[in-house]
Amino acid sequence: MKFIIKDPLDQSPLELTGKPENYHGDPAIRVYFPGMDSFLMVENDGEWVVVDEDDLNPKLLSAITDQLKSRGRYS
């Protein structure tokens, strides 16, 4: 899936790619930045958490989780 968020640093559009994964039985999505750096987010009790990266901007994560939650309502 592809989705566009606002970059929290300069508010420019940022297109990300998400690929579904299974993380120890929980739904997960690997989020790829345009340069192909990625991190894994896992859904646990309706909340999305990052499991393999510690140094991400909280505003960036909030924008991504908002997109994931809104898409989840329609799938």
> Which has more pLDDT, 75 or 65?
65
Task: Kindly report each contact of residues 11-19 with a partner whose C-beta sits within 8 Å and lies 24 or more positions away, as own/partner.
Answer: 16/64, 18/68
- Structural domain boundaries in the chain: 1-52
Residue 18's CB: how many other CB atoms inside 10 A?
Answer: 19
pLDDT, average across residues 12-37: 93
> Which has more pLDDT, 56 or 73?
56
pLDDT, average across residues 16-33: 94
